[in-house]
Amino acid sequence: MPAPTSLITMRPTPSFAEPGDPPTPVVLLLAHTDLPKPPRQGLLMHEDLEDFVGSGPRPTVSFALPASADPALPPVDSTLPAHTYPPPPPIMPDLKPKPSNMHGAIEDWTGWEAREAKQIKERIEFLANTLLDTTKSWSEQDQSNLETVHKMAADQYPDLRRYEGGWPTTYILQFHLKKTKAAHAKAQSAVATAVATRALESLPQRSSPRTRSKAQRANRLHLAPALCCFKRCTCEASKTIGMDVDPSSSNETARPQRKRTANEHTPDKYRAISNPQRGELDSARQAVREAQHANLSLAAEADAARAALAAAQAANIEQTNRLLAMQAELIEKSQAIADMQHHEGQMEAQFISDQGKLDTLFQQYGGLFQQINDTQQLLMQRNAEINRLQDTLALKTDEIAQLRANSRIQAQKTPQKQTTPRRSKRLNMSPLANSGVRTIEIPLDPIPMAEAPEPAPSTSRPKISASPALAELLNSDVDTLDDMLSKFQQLCVGGKTLVDVVRGKPQKGGAAKKGSGSAELKKDESRNALINFAHRRLRHFTCMNFDVTFVYEFYLHTPAPEALVSTTEAGVDPPADLFQWDYGSGYLHSRFNKLMIEKIVDKVLEDEEDAEVFASVGADREFLTNAMKDKLKDWRGGWNRFQPKYLPAAGRIETKAEAHARALQKLNQHQLEMRSLASKDRKLDDRRETAALTIEVKIAEGTARDIKTWERIADVVQRLGIAGMSSEEEADVTVDGGKVRLYKIKLCLWREPSIANILGFVDAQTLLRKANQPGPKPAPRVRNAGHGPGVAPAPRGLPRSLYNNEWLKAQTPAFVETLQISKESFELFVAATDRMNL
C-alpha cells in the first residue's frame, strides 16, 4: 500500500472505470495540527495575558480539509479566547533582494540558524498542506492561496518581511510542492501498475500449441479484442497520470512480433455457414468481454476498498495509540496533581507550624524589646548624668580659673614676703610623694579587644609633615617645609629628657666656657639628648660669630658680595674674622660657604672633651658639617621669601617694603605654628606623666577600680602623639579690672569626639596633681565649640577607632587611602554600669 503524502487519503480509481461521485475522504488526525506554533514576538508589558485559571472554553482540535475541497481555513470558533498580539513591526526600508543562481539549503542564503530555519520550513510546509493543492506545482496554484500562505507565514515570523517579495517563502513552497507532486505521481503510477498487473493475472495463461486445445485457442481469439482494449485503456491512463508510455504502434518501443513456426495454428476448416451463427458468436464474445470488464472493475474496486480499509485501520491504530498516550499522560498529570495537592497539604501544615513558631518568636521579641527600651532609657539617664557631671566639672573649672585670677590680682595688690629660692623646679614623680593627691575615678571601662598581639608602644615621636596649604601660605615647597619641621622637632622636641642649657645672648667674639658643655652632657647619656646638644652648640657659635640673637635674623642677612665670592672661588681665602653667607644660586657648593662652615665646626670642636662625646654618638666633623648645611638651606629659603617677587595682577615687581611685610607675616605665622607645636609637645608630656603617675598611685593604694581604664587612657595618649593634641589659642580676658591669660582649645575634627571627654579627665587629674606643688599655676584652658576647629593635618597609621567616622565619610576615597589606617583591633571605652551609683 503506498504511503499517504497529504492529509487526505484518496481511493485509487482505474482509468477505464466508469466515472462517479468522488469517494468519501478518510480524515487523519495529525500531531502537528493540534499544536499551533506561538508567535515569536516577546511578551510586551502592555499585552493582556490570558487567564488560564478560571473555567471557560478551551481551544479544540481542528482537522485538515480534503485536498479536493476548498483550501480555505476552517471557521474560527467565536467561543474561544481571543488572542491579542502586538501590531506587526513596520516594513524595513532596506529589503534584502533574492540572490541570483540560488540553490541548496535556505539557511545558506538567509543566514538563519539551523533550528530557526527548520521551524520556519515546517510551518510553511504545514500551511501549504492545509491551504494548497499538493498534487500541483507552485506555478499551477491559485494566486490568492499563495498570498494567504505568504501573509500567515509573515505574521508568525516577521523576519520574512525583510526579504524582497518574500522570496524565502516562495523558495520553500516551490521545493515542497515539487516534492509532493512527484510523490503523488509516483503513488498514482504504482496504483495503475498494480491494477494492470491484477488484470493480466486474471487472464488465462498461454500454453504450448501442442498441449492447448482448440477451445482454448478459440477462447484466446475471443479474448484478443478485450486485451487490446485493456492495453489501449492502460496507455490512456498512463498518459492521464503522467506516465511515459509509448504507444504500441511505435517502432522503437513496440514488442517485435513472434515468428511463425511450423506448428502455427491454421484456421479451422470448419466455418460458419450462416449469418445467425455468426451473430450468436458475436453476442457471446460481447458478453464475455462485458463480464471480463465487470470483473476487472470489481477487482479494482476491491483493491481500492482493501487499500482504504488498510489506511483506515492504520489511522485507527494511530489514533488509538495517540489516545492511549493521551490517557497515559492524563494519568501521569493526574498523579502529578495529586502529588502537588499532597505537597500543598504538607506545605500548609508546615506553614501553620511556622506561623506558630513566629508567633512565639514575636512574643519573645516583644519581651526583649521592652527590656531593650528599659535599658536604653537607663543608658540615656546615665548619659544625661555624665553630661551633667561634665558640665559641672566645666563650671567648677571656670570657677577655679576665676578664683585663681582673683587671687593673682589680690596678690599683685598686696606686698609679698621675700621667699627663699627653690632648689629645683622639677616635679616629684614618686608615687610616695603623690600619695596624698586625690585621684579621679573615671566611670568608664575599656572595651575588651580581640585576642591579638599588642603592638609595642612606639618610643619615637610621630613625624610632623607640612601640608600643601602651609607651603602655599609660606610661599615655599612641601619638601623644604618638611625638612624644616623635622629639624625643628629634632632640635626642640626631639627627646623626652632634654639637657638644660642656659639660654642667653651669646657674647660676641667670646668662647664657650671650657668644660661647661661636658658637665651638662654627663647628666644624661641619651643619644638624642647629645645630638640635640650638638645642634645647640652649632646654633650658639653661629649666632655668636654672625652677631645675631635669633635664628630667623638670618632671613634678613646681607649676603657676601659677588666679587668676594668670585675671589674666594679663585683660591683667595676671605679674612679670618669675616662671617657672611653666600646666598647665590650655587650656595650649597660654594667654597666661600664651605670655609664659613669649617670655621664654625672648628670652634665647636675646640673642646676635646666635647669632641669625644660628640664622636661617641656619631656627631663627628662630617655630621656637624652636614647639620650646618641643612641649617644654611633653611636660612637661605627664608631669605628668599624676603626678596621682591613679581605681582601678576599688578604687572610689576614688589618693593622691598612690600616684600618684607609679606615675609614677616609668613614668618609670624610660622613662629605661631612652631609655638603651637611646642605647646602640643608639653601637653603630651604632661598627659603621659599624669597617666603614668595615676596608674602607679592607684596600684599602690590597692583599692582602685579603674586601673584598666587609666591604662587604656595611657595607651590612647601614646598612640595619638603630638598630632592628636588639640590646638590652643592664647587670649587675655579682663577679670575685676585685671588681665588674665587663658587658652582657647580648638578640637581636632579628624579625632573621635569621645576622646575629648577622656582627655578632660586626664587634664582634671593634672590640675589636682599640680595644685599643691610649687611653681607657677597652669593657665585656665577653656573648651568651647565657638573657638573653631584645629587646622593641624590628620596623622597616619592610627586605628580606625581613633578617627571620626563622620569626618572619614566626608573625605574622598583617595585621601582616606593616604591615611593608611591601621587594621589593628583597638577599642575605646564603655560606661561602667556595674560601679555607677545613679
**What is the SS3 string spanning 627-643?**
HHHHHHHHHHHHHHHCC
pLDDT category at 21 given cuts 50, 70, 90 is low
Spatial separation of the C-alpha atoms in residues 340 and 347, rounded to whole Å = 10
Q: Are residues 195 and 323 in the same domain?
A: yes
For residue 338, the model assigns a pLDDT of 92
742 close to 729: Cβ distance less than 8 angstroms: no
User: 536: part of which helix (H) or strand (E)?
Assistant: helix 527-546
What are the beta bridge partners of residue 729?
744
Residues 669 and 817 placed together within one structural domain of the fold = yes
Per-residue pLDDT, averaged over 419-427, amounts to 40
Lowest mean pLDDT among 211-225, 415-429, 577-591: 415-429
* Lowest pLDDT segment from 43-57, 270-284, 290-304: 43-57
Q: Where are the beta strands (DSSP E) in 267-379?
A: none
How many other C-beta atoms are found inside a 10 Å radius of the C-beta of residue 106?
Answer: 18
Q: What is the pLDDT of residue 337?
A: 94
For residue 446, the SS3 value is: strand
Nearest-angstrom CA–CA distance, 350 and 712: 53
Cell of 480: 623644604
Please determine, for residue 226, whether its predicted confidence score (pLDDT) is greater than 80: no
Q: Which helix (H) or strand (E) holds 8?
A: strand 8-9
Tell how far CA 253 is from the center of its chain: 85
Instruction: Provide the grid cell at 191.
Output: 496504483
**C-alpha separations of 733 from 234, 738, 782 in Å:** 139, 8, 12
Q: How confident is the model at residue 488 (pLDDT cuts 50, 70, 90)?
A: low
Q: Cα(first)–Cα(last) distance of the chain, in Å?
A: 109
Give the pLDDT band of residue 373 (cuts 50, 70, 90).
confident
Let me know if 191 is exposed, middle or buried by CB neighbors in 10 A (0-12, 13-18, 19+): buried
SS (H, E, C) 376-426: HHHHHHHHHHHHHHHHHHHHHHHHHHHHHHHHHHHHHHCCCCCCCCCCCCC
Could you tell me if 614 and 672 lie in one domain? no
Question: What's the confidence (pLDDT) of residue 53?
Answer: 42
Phi–psi pair at 40, nearest 5 degrees: -85, -10
- Directed axis angle between helix 621-641 and helix 478-492, to 10°? 130
Q: What sign for the dihedral angle of Cα 484, 487, 493, 498?
A: negative
Query: Rounded CA gap, 803 and 753, in Å?
Result: 9
Can you tell me the mean pLDDT for 456-485?
A: 57
| Model pLDDT for residues 532-575, shown as the tens digit of each residue | 777 888 888 888 888 888 777 888 788 888 888 898 888 888 88
548 belongs to a structural domain: yes
pLDDT at 473: 53
Asked whether the predicted pLDDT for residue 712 surpasses 50, the reply is yes
Residue 96 domain-assigned (yes or no): yes
Contacts of 610 (CB under 8 A, 6+ apart): 517, 518, 521, 537, 604
Q: What pLDDT is recorded for position 85?
A: 52
Domain that holds residue 799: 431-445+665-838
Q: 519 or 614, which is more confident?
A: 614
How confident is the model at residue 493, as a pLDDT?
43
Three-state secondary structure call for residue 583: coil
**Can you tell me the distance from the alpha carbon of 350 to that of 400, in angstroms, rounded to the nearest whole number?**
72
366 against 483, higher pLDDT: 366
pLDDT: which is higher, 557 or 468: 557
- Cβ count within 10 A of residue 346: 10
pLDDT over 90 percentage in the chain: 5
Specify which residues 830 forms β-bridges with. 445
Instruction: Tell whether 606 and 747 lie within a shared domain.
Output: no
230 and 347 share a domain? yes
Which band of pLDDT confidence, cut at 50, 70 and 90, is reported for residue 108? confident
Strands (E) in 644-748, as ranges, are 646-647, 652-653, 727-735, 738-746
Same domain, 697 and 604: no
The region of weakest confidence among 164-178, 375-389, 451-465, 611-625 is 451-465
Task: Decide which of 230 and 690 is more confident.
Answer: 690
> What number is the average pLDDT over the span 736-759?
78
Task: Indicate whether 197 and 124 sit together in one domain.
Answer: yes
Instruction: Say how far apart CA 200 and CA 283 lie, in whole Å.
Output: 24
pTM exceeding the 0.85 threshold for the entire prediction: no
d(CA 554, CA 587): 15
Q: What is the pLDDT of residues 818-833, one digit of tens each?
A: 988 988 888 888 777 7
Highest-pLDDT range among 89-93, 477-481, 521-525, 802-806: 802-806
Residue of 339 and 608 predicted with greater confidence? 339
Does pLDDT of 406 surpass 90? Answer: no
For residue 474, the model assigns a pLDDT of 57
Is there a domain that residue 500 lies in?
A: yes
pLDDT at 121 over 80: yes
Question: H/E element holding 829?
Answer: strand 829-831
- Predicted pLDDT at 785: 53
pLDDT, greater one: 62 or 378? 378
3-class secondary structure, 727: strand
Q: Are residues 610 and 707 in the same domain?
A: no
Quote the pLDDT of residue 144: 86
Of the candidates 590, 610, 644, which is a domain's last residue?
Answer: 644
pLDDT digits over 300-347, tens only?
888 888 898 989 888 889 888 999 999 999 999 999 999 999 999 999
**Measured between alpha carbons, how far is 202 from 292 in angstroms, rounded to an integer?**
9
The enclosing H or E element of 781 equals strand 781-783
As a whole number of Å, the CA-based R_g of the chain is: 60
Residue 82 lies in a domain: no
Q: Is the pLDDT of residue 610 over 70?
A: yes
> Residue 500's pLDDT band (boundaries 50, 70, 90)?
very low
**Who contacts 584 (Cβ-Cβ below 8 Å, separation ≥6)?**
559, 562, 565, 590
Give the C-alpha distances (Å, rounded to integers) separating 166 from 104, 127, 157, 159, 175. 17, 15, 11, 10, 15
Is the per-residue pLDDT at 504 higher than 60? no
pLDDT for residue 522 is more than 70: no
Based on the structure, what is the number of domains in the chain?
A: 3
Q: Is the per-residue pLDDT at 748 higher than 80?
A: yes
Same domain, 482 and 440: no
- Whether 142 is covered by a domain: the verdict is yes
Q: How does residue 352 score in pLDDT terms, banded at 50, 70 and 90? A: very high
Residue carrying C-alpha cell 575685676? 736
The residue out of 363, 379, 407 marking a domain boundary is: 363
Average pLDDT, the chain: 71
CA distance 563 to 394: 66
Q: What does the pLDDT average to over 199-219?
A: 52
Looking at residue 391, its pLDDT comes to 77
Would you call 746 helix, strand, or coil by DSSP? Answer: strand
Residue 460 lies in a domain: no
Identify the band that residue 444 occupies on the pLDDT scale cut at 50, 70 and 90.
confident
**Lowest-pLDDT choice from 98-102, 523-527, 544-548, 735-739:** 523-527
31 and 124 assigned to the same domain: yes
Query: Which of 584-598, 600-614, 785-799 is predicted most confidently?
Result: 584-598
Alpha-helix residue ranges (DSSP H) falling in 549-655: 562-569, 591-604, 608-616, 621-641
333-347, 474-488, 507-521, 789-803: lowest mean pLDDT where? 507-521
Per-residue confidence (pLDDT) for residue 409, from 0 to 100: 56
Q: Last residue of a domain, which of 303, 334, 363?
A: 363
Tell whether the model's pLDDT for residue 637 goes beyond 80: yes
pLDDT at residue number 333: 93
Closest CA to 799 of 756, 755, 747, 763: 755
| Statement to judge: residues 616 and 703 lie in one domain | no
Q: Clarify whether residues 435 and 515 are in a common domain.
A: no
| Stronger pLDDT, 837 or 530, i.e. the higher one | 530
Q: Pick from 766, 725, 731: which is nearest to 747 by CA? A: 725
Confidence of residue 439 (pLDDT cuts 50, 70, 90): confident
Identify whether 450 is part of a domain: no
**Residue labelled with grid coordinates 596624698:** 436
Q: How many CB atoms lie within 10 A of CB 213?
A: 9
| Bigger pLDDT: 459 vs 448 | 448
Assigned domain for 120 exists: yes
